[in-house]
Amino acid sequence: MFSIPSRASYDVSIINIEGNDKSFIFETHNNKKFTVDESVPSPLDTRNIAIPYPVSDLNRVLVHAALINAGYAGKDVHINTGLPVSHYYKPSTEINQTLVEQKKANLMHPVRCGIDGSLPVANIIANEVCSEGVAAYVDQLLDADGNTTEQYEEMYNSVVGVVDIGGHTTDCAVLLPKMVINMTRSGSSEVGVLNLYDGIKTAVAAKFGINSSSITKRQIESALNTGKIMISRQAIDVSDIVNTEKTRLFDQIIMAINEVIGTDEDIEKLIFVGGGSIVFEDYLRDHYKSIIIPEHPEFANARGMMKLVKYIPKSN
């Protein structure tokens, strides 16, 4: 398992001076160029692009970048991608088939790779779309070979809450016994880990009198991982800012969960997944009793999507 940062900028914004690798440069069918790399300056914010991210050129380019990094360049692939619960389902509880089909169609548009478009990309021969919270639930039911897990019977016959704290959203899904989704207690909130990045950036800029636009994601990640940030070649302790902003955002996430799920007293299994469950693990374990955070929770949805495609494709 591996992940790549969802970072891209318009046009060709960086050059690799160590070799001829131009596999981070992409061009779409409508002649838009993107550079995909964790080091791109001023990466596009997927929350603020003009077209909804799931059906955008940016989404398609990032999917292809991930497939190339996974070793699928030039190969036929069958993929499964996800939508937040509130996007996958309509308020009427029906699957939002229009958005699902738009997302699938978007990924089928051609993408060229390299300066001259000559580098191979994956050939997407089929793609499915599922609900992200439900995928994480399926990950708990089946192992990588499609066999039922040790907790399958208990999980399958329990009231299960799944909370996916992602970058953009916090997705909640409550599943009743026998994989029935309680739509009245499932949905998405526009709060996620990227809000923490925003909060740290704003607070650092205010405290040290610098322009927030000059603070990069690399610097913010350093602050989160080490409690220190490099400013003008000086390592500065910002752990107090990080802790304050984490507490502030955690309170918002709990409010968002409560608004969707309500009380958790009747939920027999409560699962937290997504990158945010790593960032806030200590907070979550202090706030809730007896929660489940699976190994590598940031990959729970991806694992579940793979299992849905391979073993129960008709259930999503």
CATH number for position 286:
3.30.420.40
Q: Is the pLDDT at 268 greater than 60, yes or no?
A: yes
* pLDDT tops 90 at residue 51: no
Residue 213 belongs to a domain: no
Are 272 and 250 in contact, with CB atoms under 8 Å apart?
A: no
pLDDT band at 269 (very low <50, low <70, confident <90, very high): very high
Task: Kindly indicate the confidence band of residue 16, based on its pLDDT and cuts at 50, 70 and 90.
Answer: low
231: in domain = no
Q: Is residue 72 part of a domain?
A: yes
Whether 54 and 86 have beta carbons less than 8 Å apart is answered as no
Choose among 90, 241, 48: nearest CA to 56: 48
Number of domains in the chain: 1
The rounded mean pLDDT for the chain is 90
Q: Is residue 87 part of a domain?
A: yes
CB 40 within 8 A of CB 14: yes
**Could you tell me if residue 100 is inside a domain?**
yes
Q: What is the pLDDT of residue 313?
A: 58
Q: Classify strands 160-165 and 111-113 as parallel, antiparallel or unpaired.
A: unpaired
Residue 144 counted as domain residue: yes
Band of residue 315 on the pLDDT scale cut at 50, 70, 90: very low
**Residue 212: inside a domain, yes or no?**
no
Q: Is residue 14 domain-resident?
A: yes
Q: What is the pLDDT of residues 196-249, one digit of tens each?
A: 999 999 999 999 999 988 898 889 999 999 999 999 899 999 999 999 999 999
| The pLDDT of residue 192 | 94
Which structural domain, as residue segments, surrounds residue 144? Answer: 8-192+250-315
